[in-house]
Amino acid sequence: MLQIFLQGFAVYFIIWWMTLFAVLPVGLRTQAEDDDVVLGTVPSAPTRFRAAFVFSLTTLISALVYGLWYVCDTYFGWGFDALPQLGPSFY
């Protein structure tokens, strides 16, 4: 039971981490766009980083993606083993 939970958590964590990098630029305003570049920073630095918004949106989207993956794997049998093999097999 613990192994199943840890496998599910590992898949969710990977989905969450990948989703984080897709969500980071959403709603981002740079210092150059606001004409307020702080001395010693690059103009592409964010004016205000909204961590709660980014982490909440990342969690919501990754939960939806994980739920879709869970339904496809559990009810339809479309897991990672069903993906086509693109590279050579060494085993």
Write out pLDDT tens, residues 1-13. Answer: 888 889 889 999 9
SS3 75: helix
- Give pTM, 2 decimals: 0.77
d(CA 28, CA 31): 10
The structure tokens listed for 59 are 């969690």
Question: Please, which pLDDT band fits residue 86 given cuts at 50, 70 and 90?
Answer: low
Burial 27-64 (b: 16+ CB within 10 A, else e): eeeebeeeeeeeeeeeeeebeeeeeeebeebbeebbee
Each residue of 13-60: pLDDT tens digit? 999 999 999 999 998 899 999 998 999 999 999 998 899 999 999 999
Measured CA angle at 69 (ends 17, 26), to 5 deg: 40
